[in-house]
Structure 1
Amino acid sequence: MLLGVIGDDFTGSSDIANNLKKAGMSVGMYSGVPDNKIKLNKYNAVVIALKTRTIPIKKAISESIKALEWLKSKKCKKIIFKYCSTFDSTKKGNIGPVIDAIMKNLNVDFTIACPSFPDAGRILYQGHMFVNGVPLNESGMENHPLTPMTDHNLVRWLNYQTKGKVDLINSLTIKEGAKSIKKRITELKKSNVKYAITDTLDNQDFDLICSGTDNLKFLTGGSGIALGLPKVFKKKGMLKKSNSKLPNVKGNTIILSGSCSLTTNEQVELYKKSNPSLFISPEELIKNKNYHNEIIEWILRNSKKRPLIYSTTLPKKVSLYQKKFGSNISSKIENLFQKIIKNIYKYNFNKIVCAGGETSGAIVKALMIKELQIGEEISAGVPVMWEPEKNIKITLKSGNFGQKDFFSRALKKL
């Protein structure tokens, strides 16, 4: 196995799997640590999707190390820890502690953090992240209900979370090429720096960064880095050709949206205008014990019309719901999504669009999906995927990804 990826959520994992395939690698994605009986000879890379972004730190480390041990047992030549391209975390977030634990396990003394994804509008300059030209902490991410990003200086942000020193490999060094990057890494290591944030202004930078770090066993970042890594392996003649196509699947379609990002709010509003849509009311969820059955009945009445079920709303309303119904209202909504999908799957709803990382993770776990094969890209970072055992076609969209008409685009691809 050339490459093993540990993803901290499901949408992000499908995102990096998509980019690896686009760049020429054969890749499989698994929900949680795979069974040892799984045959991996058809893949150059394996992505293990976890749900560790917002869980307690000790548990996030434990689950990540279990995934790492499995990848080590498959003799992966390089390991990536994948997190969101907007570095979703808090000052006491999980990214730094998980990186520390993996570095200790692998006995490595240096790695990079390369979260950018220019194709989705996320770039890093002088260690500062911008989203579509706006500083990260002014992009709407400062209002994220779970991981509010209140600083766009990622050198400073990662320093809050890690035990070692964090520094920068800036864009001038990167544009000079692989030799300059290697030289900078040597300088940083002499200064006892353990982690370097890497500036990234365009996709060409990923080629330079991956060439400049080709001797590093362990990398961290967003999905953008996956655009450069396969080229490194290809130069060494190590890649298998990947021409596989996903089969057509017949069945009913459902859209489930839990993200409260500004992007997903716009997507929901557009789709609602011409399609049956039902909002999950937190008040009804708390008061009405039969609520999930009522929703299922509504879905079945609209089974041929590709209905949308959504809890998506503006961040301000999320805060109000949390104050009124408790901070665990989000997990109760996730549980409701799980009840819904378990029930309607029996009625041949096997084409599924999910919006939001937490929602996507809940849906994948509810359906007990194990392996996902990667298909055509719908929009930057979002592919169609197929679960061969259950014959499910599914797409898992990060909240901030996709065009306004993403849902309609996704339905055409499923």
Structure 2
Amino acid sequence: MSTIQATGSHVGPSVPVLPDGLALKYVAEGAANVIWRISFPDRQLTPPPTVIEESSGPTPPPSEVDIGTDIGIHTGKENGSTKTNGADATATATTTDYSNLLLRLRKCLPSSESNLLAYEYLSSVIMPLFPPGVMVGQELAKLPPKLVERANDTLHHLEKSGVRPAHRQHLYLAGDSRPSEQQMEEGYAFLLEDMTPNTSIGEFLLEFKAKWLVQSPNAPNDWKRCRTCALRLRKYSKSIKKGKHAEWRGICPFDLASDDQKRAKNAVRWILQHPRCENEKLVNRVTAALMGCPQLSILKDLQASLDPKGILGADHKSKEFLTAMTLRDCTFYVKVSPTDVQARLGDFDVKSGEAGKSEYWIETERELINEGWYAGTEEGDYPWKAEGLEVVCRV
């Protein structure tokens, strides 16, 4: 294994064992995972640094910037084997060039699946839905005994030094067997294709969620807003009632997936944000790339076919419905260079509907219907009530 190709073979004949001699750098974290850049200590191969970003979603993006926090793991190289789905996993990873890979480690969250189960779902359910080249490359790897312990020690150090985000503190990685740590079994990790842009040549990375590309089957017949825009306005209303800042304007998925170039450009401007959105040539180039990529049309068709009944009518334990919910929450990673635009899909966190998630989906859908967020009849004095600012979506 020398590299990970985007959406390559779904299940390999073996699972590589990561060598104990790897050095790791903390990159970023989300609610469920922590991302690390990996290398051998004597050959630190990393791309040029960019701006530090914090991931707000459940899974961190596959590209971030190093913040200079190293941990060396120097207990020798492991040359054992393990079994997964009947296949031998051998320590073939010792010859890998890790400069184009990132390591994703799972946190101790009772509601999250083990990495082995997550990969089995990804390789058997999600990957077959897409042609090669449209997903972020990812592969399962076996963890050596001490790697998670060293990584958790680094997270503790980052907390004490004030580097780790405050809202991420006090939750650590699964797979640490020490009594002083939160304990949850985990023997595997994900190796991810590194989408880090080379800023020295003008590259940058865009990250966004396309969300609901087709209307909710439960929306009323007289709806004026798509599910995503209706929910964003509902979240805004809740935030301002709590005295918190929120944004009520944003990407309309219907515009993004539209065949209308003008509407697609409006969505791209939200994705690019200021000041990039003021560069009309850049807007046109990214719009043309996204309109020409297969991801949007594939996601749109899959969302419609896998969930024809909607949240209020679906069987929340069915593979089809849960896959539709997973696809509604995946992330676009778009690397823009002066000569090219490269799009990948990632962040396919398994949706189970457990731990109260199913009840949350139902409650949210009923709120959107009963409080008028779909129909545009919600009560309250909000910014979009001003003339010319009303949020109206079109298929």
> In which range does the TM-score fall when normalised by the shorter chain?
under 0.3
Larger proportion of helix: 1
The structure whose Rg is larger is: 2
Larger proportion of strand: 1
TM (norm. structure 2) is: 0.28
